Structure 1
Amino acid sequence: MNMHVPISTQTAPPPAGPYSQAVRFGSFVQVSGQIGFDPIDFSLGPDTSTQTTQTMRNIAAILAAAGSHPSDVVVIRVYLSDLTHFLELNEALAPWFPQGAVARTTVQVTLPPNVLVEIDALADTSQNTEQS
């Protein structure tokens, strides 16, 4: 029987409410929406590129705590404060998904002050032999 297993790490910012950084369900790991807070001093970068890169670092840290990696990601959902930052977002995400082998949805939403991007991710770890 599959159980929901919460995933937590101190190498990414803690949740801002009563939810987990991620949840494992079978071979899937769903990472909750992450923003570009630095996990040490909670600072935010000044632009979409910097925030996207830190957001992906946070997602990678959470995935690592689950025995996973960004290469296991099958879909991301991106929430941008302004769609005019779409090209900057694409450039910042390119190193994380070099083969483009990830499905993606991108929408414009209202985010907290100074937050330009939020991303959640779904990873399939079924190809990994080191599941936690």
Structure 2
Amino acid sequence: MSHITVSYPKDKNTPVSHLPFSPAVRAGDLIFVSGQASVDASGNLMPGSFESEFRRSVENLQKVLKSAGSDLGHVIQTRNYVRDPADLPEFNRLYREYFFAPHPARTTITHCLPETLHFEIECIAVPA
């Protein structure tokens, strides 16, 4: 049985959080990225429209993936949290701008975020 190396990649561009979790955990050839929301470099929430929060969240996801040696093209699964189901058409439109066919496996959950957030995304990826 082989030993799987576990690491916690992070660099100066990785968004910080004031909560107790690692932005990413790499276990062998799998990279698990914690939920990324619309926060600035200091971890402060940056509320806005659904679109602005979606874009900032995915940009944060890209930063975490880069620190772990991956990118959006190597994402194999996403989990998406959308507060208001009315935003699902816009979510699908924006999602297609960042994730291309064949698309990653995906789960989308609604009615699950506090009033302060419109969107959050997490993923599993492989190295680039």
TM over 0.5: yes
Correspondences of 1:98-117 after superposition (within 5 Å): 98-117=100-119
- The aligned counterpart of 1:93 is 95
Q: 1:84 to 1:40 in 2, by over 3 A?
A: same
Percent identity between the two aligned chains: 26
Q: Give yes or no for contact 1:37–1:44 (8 Å, CA) kept in 2.
A: yes
Give, in angstroms, the shift of residue 100 of structure 1.
Answer: 4.4
Q: TM-score by structure 2 length?
A: 0.88
Query: What are the ranges of 5 or more consecutive residues in structure 2 without an aligned counterpart?
Result: none
- The aligned counterpart of 2:126 is 124
Give, in angstroms, the shift of residue 92 of structure 1.
Answer: 1.5
RMSD: 1.8
- The aligned counterpart of 2:35 is 33
Distance 1:2 1:28 in 2: 10
Q: Give yes or no for contact 1:45–1:51 (8 Å, CA) kept in 2.
A: yes
Q: Give yes or no for contact 2:82–2:120 (8 Å, CA) kept in 1.
A: yes
Deviations 1:40-65 (A, max 9, x none): 58352421111111111001001100
Q: TM-score by structure 1 length?
A: 0.85
Query: What are the ranges of 5 or more consecutive residues in structure 1 without an aligned counterpart?
Result: none
- The aligned counterpart of 1:58 is 60
Q: Give yes or no for contact 1:3–1:25 (8 Å, CA) kept in 2.
A: yes
Q: 1:74 to 1:9 in 2, by over 3 A?
A: same
Which stretches of structure 1, 4 residues or longer, exceed 6 Å deviation after superposition?
Answer: none
